[in-house]
Chains A and B, each alone.
Chain A
Amino acid sequence: MTRKSLTLAAVAALAITAGCAKKPPAQLPPAPATEAGTGQPEGPASGIEGAVLPGSRADFLRSVPADRIYFDTDLYNIDDQDRATLDAQAEWLRRNPNVRVTIEGHCDERGTREYNLALGDRRANAAKNYLQNRGIDASRMSVISWGKERPEALGSDEESWAKNRRAVTVVPQ
């Protein structure tokens, strides 16, 4: 298993982007936002940046450490850092019970197209199942697999591939 070495590579490459790098353990739940988010669960429109509507995508992005979790090659398991991210997402979804989300599953380019479509579905469902176990109704979450069709990072290297193996929780604008 190459999880650790890949993770380190990813950490090195992604350290600039909060929520992208897979950091070591991380204790479980709440305290979502220490870096990018507002850290103020109930204060979406903090006034500084103008109107951020509660329940909007902007609100979501400000309230959670990341809208996405990352996977290792060919894998779809949820690790500790993923849990912290998804716990924060679940918390936000509980506070915004009328919001429905789409969870997108993605893969890197180093897989065959159709297998990647199936693997992307696995990843999206891994995130969905976790959120469901945290009390989010399954009917609020749809999944879609994009396989390798929508890479986020465009290089053909380990750092790019690590960014592309992801499940993204998409809140409507």
Chain B
Amino acid sequence: MSRLTRLLAAAVTMLLAASQPAHAQLSVDVTAEGGNQLVIAVPSLATPQSAATAAGTTDVLGRQIADVIVSDLRGSGLFRPLGPGAVRAIAFDEVTAPAYDYWPGTGAAALVQGFVRANPDGKLTIGCYLYDVALKQELTRQGFVLAPAEWRRAAHKCADAIYARLSGESPFFDSRIAYIAESGPKGHRVKRLAIMDSDGANHRFLTNGQSVVLTPRFSPDYKQIVYLSYIEKRPRIYIYDIGTGRQRVVTESANQTFAPRFSPDGRFILYSMAIGGNTDIYRVSVNGGPSTRLTNSPGIDVGGSYSPDGSRIVFESDRSGTQQVYVMNSDGSNQHRISFGSGRYATPEWSPRGDLIAFTKIAGNFRIGVMTPDGQGERLLTNSWQDEAPSWSPNGRVIQFFRTSQGRSGGASVWQVDLTGANERRIPTPLDGSDPAWGPLLP
């Protein structure tokens, strides 16, 4: 158990229903490393009657939604879901009246039931209910009315409701990732801006690969992406508007600008600019205009990540001689180093919860780690040849990063790991992938 345990409001021991007294609270513990997983049954969502929709028939959608819920819950590492293939289907009138006599026999402690209904206006109504099998009571419910094409969002929101209710944590499944899709030979990689849902679905390429693009970040409202592009062989930061597909230069300069980040309120962009070999960090309005220089040390000050309240910035500097992590106020004052362990520290990212800084630790290999904003409690979460550039889940409980493999045929792929260091897994992408940037919970 880590000290994080004490930070959690709802850290309680998992209780397996069958052996517990009636007042026991059903829950999962996000701080338990490889702890017991809660067995949860997720039968196909029922439908009052099978009806055709723009996304397929409602009974097929019921199965697909259950599959996405199962995938989300399993991916969190906290659950052992029994999906549609493992448990019997339910009838529509069972949705709000579970067969409490049946479910204990499956081993499930929790039960998710729901329905999909096609409305006359072409939209779907999707309902989702969570039950405690032993206590025979409903724990939470969610309902959504949405276009058929958005059915996956209902599934993620349902999974989020289950996760939040049972873990006491904030939700995170209903969110998206921006990243760089990679292909081609190592010496001349083709790099394309791409976006996808948090589980890899709804994948879309946004640029065609003619110019190298790097280090994307979503705006807080998901309408824009700020990134670095080598268009016209001039590396500069651009804002890509997802609605229009247009992109524009953020700040005009003869110098190279890179490492862009949105402020938490979306009004500013933090970026780095190299002038004559010296790199410093600047801030500019998202609409352009004059920039404010925030660092002025000789050497490389680069990157940066705002605290969730926007008052401070964590960044990387080699002013001491090697790459280390520093914190400053958002106006550039009070710059102080926080990393003092062995090796170098790079790519700091402030957790959306505010409690931790994730970083790349360079000591031989590259590993992903976390520490508090005052530099305490360093923990390394991964152990591979080259893991780089952490990005936080919206709830600050999971970290994505990219992993590079060695050699001439080496490539990059997107991975994620829990804060406990457990449940490490690769995120499926159609091509190689790097520079993942996890956006906030969808609005």
Binding site for B on A (CB under 8 A): 74, 76, 102, 109-115, 117-119, 121-122, 124-126, 129, 143-145, 149-152, 154-156
Convert B264-305 into 0s and 1s, putting 1 for each residue whose CB lies closer than 8 angstroms to a CB of A: 000000001010111100000000000000000000101100
CB closest chain-A residue, reference B189: A149
Question: Is B67 an interface residue, CB under 8 A from the partner?
Answer: no
Apart from A112-B389, A113-B215, A154-B408, 19 more pairs, CB < 8 Å: A76-B277, A102-B233, A112-B323, A114-B258, A114-B347, A115-B302, A115-B323, A117-B274, A118-B274, A118-B279, A121-B274, A122-B300, A126-B277, A129-B276, A144-B233, A145-B235, A150-B187, A150-B188, A156-B410
17 A-B contacts, Cβ less than 8 Å apart? Answer: A76-B277, A111-B362, A112-B323, A112-B346, A112-B362, A114-B302, A114-B346, A115-B300, A117-B228, A118-B279, A121-B256, A121-B277, A129-B277, A144-B235, A145-B235, A149-B214, A154-B408
A134 to chain B, nearest CB (A): 17
B389 touches A155 (CB 8 A): no
Query: Is A112 within 8 A of B347, CB to CB?
Result: yes
Chain A residues, Cβ within 8 Å of B362 = 111-112
- Shortest C-beta distance, B436 to chain A (Å), equals 12
B214 in complex: contacting residue of A113, A144, A150, CB < 8 Å: A113
Contacts of A155 in B (CB 8 A): 407-408
Asked whether any CB of chain A lies closer than 8 Å to the CB of B406, the reply is: yes
B366 at the interface (CB under 8 A from A): yes
- The distance in angstroms between the C-alpha atoms of A4 and B362, with both chains bound, is 22
Chain A positions within 8 Å of B108 at CB level: none
Residues of chain A contacted by B322 (CB below 8 angstroms): 74
A120 CB, nearest partner CB in chain B, Å: 9
User: Shortest distance in angstroms between A108's beta carbon and chain B's nearest beta carbon?
Assistant: 12
Question: With A and B bound together, what is the CA distance between A74 and B316 in angstroms?
Answer: 15
Chain B interface category by residue count: 35 or more
Q: Of A74, A121, A152, which contacts B187 at CB under 8 A?
A: A152
Q: Please tell me if B425 contacts chain A, counting CB pairs below 8 Å.
A: no
Q: By DSSP majority rule, is chain A's interface helix, strand, loop, or mixed?
A: mixed
Taken together as a complex, chains A and B put the C-alpha atoms of A126 and B322 apart, in Å, by 19
- What is the bound-complex CA distance between A111 and B386, given in angstroms? 10
> Which residue of chain A has the shortest Cβ distance to B405 in the bound complex?
A156
Contact partner of A112 among B276, B277, B366, CB < 8 A? B366
- Bound together, the chains give a CA A114 to CA B256 distance in angstroms of 12
Q: Which of A102, A129, A151 contacts B186 (CB 8 A)?
A: A151
Whether A114 lies near B303 (C-beta < 8 A) is yes
Closest to B259 in A: A114
**Are B277 and A117 in touch, CB under 8 angstroms?**
no
List residues of B (391-438) whose CB comes within 8 Å of A's CBs: 404, 406-408, 410, 434-435
Task: Assess whether B256 is in contact with A145, with CB atoms less than 8 Å apart.
Answer: yes
**Does B72 reach chain A (CB closer than 8 Å)?**
no
Contacts of B256 in A (CB 8 A): 117, 121, 143-145
Q: Are A118 and B187 in contact (CB under 8 A)?
A: no
User: Complex Cα distance A112/B276, Å?
Assistant: 20
Cβ contact within 8 Å between A115 and B407? no
> Distance (Å) between the CB of A133 and the closest chain B CB?
13
Q: How far is the CA of A117 from the CA of B212 in the complex (A)?
A: 13
Report Cα–Cα, A130/B366, bound state, in Å.
34
Q: Mark B352-375, 1 if CB is under 8 A from A, else 0.
A: 000000001010001000000000
Q: Do A145 and B274 touch (CB < 8 A)?
A: yes
Q: How far is the CB of B288 from chain A (nearest CB, A)?
A: 22
Contacts of B272 in A (CB 8 A): 114, 117-118
Pick the 9 closest A-B CB pairs, nearest first. Answer: A125-B277, A121-B274, A156-B406, A118-B279, A112-B346, A154-B408, A122-B277, A118-B300, A114-B259
Given known pairs A76-B277, A114-B303, A117-B258, the reply for A154 and B187 (CB within 8 Å) is yes
- Given A145-B235, A151-B187, A156-B407: A113 and B277 interface contact (C-beta under 8 Å): no
Within 8 A of A (CB), among B184-201: 185-189, 191
Give Cα A150 to B190, complex, Å. Answer: 11
Cα–Cα, bound, A144→B257 (Å): 11
- Nearest chain B residue, comparing its CB with the CB of A109: B404
Set of chain A residues within 8 Å of B303, measured between Cβ atoms? 114-115
Q: Chain B, 53-73, contact with A by CB distance < 8 Å: what is the 0/1 string?
A: 000000000000000000000
Bound form: Cα–Cα A102–B228 in Å: 20
Which residues of B have CB within 8 Å of A111? Answer: 362
Task: Looking at the assembled complex, report how far the CB atom of B303 sits from the nearest CB atom of chain A, in whole angstroms.
Answer: 5
Measured between beta carbons, the chain A residues less than 8 angstroms from B235 are: 117, 144-145
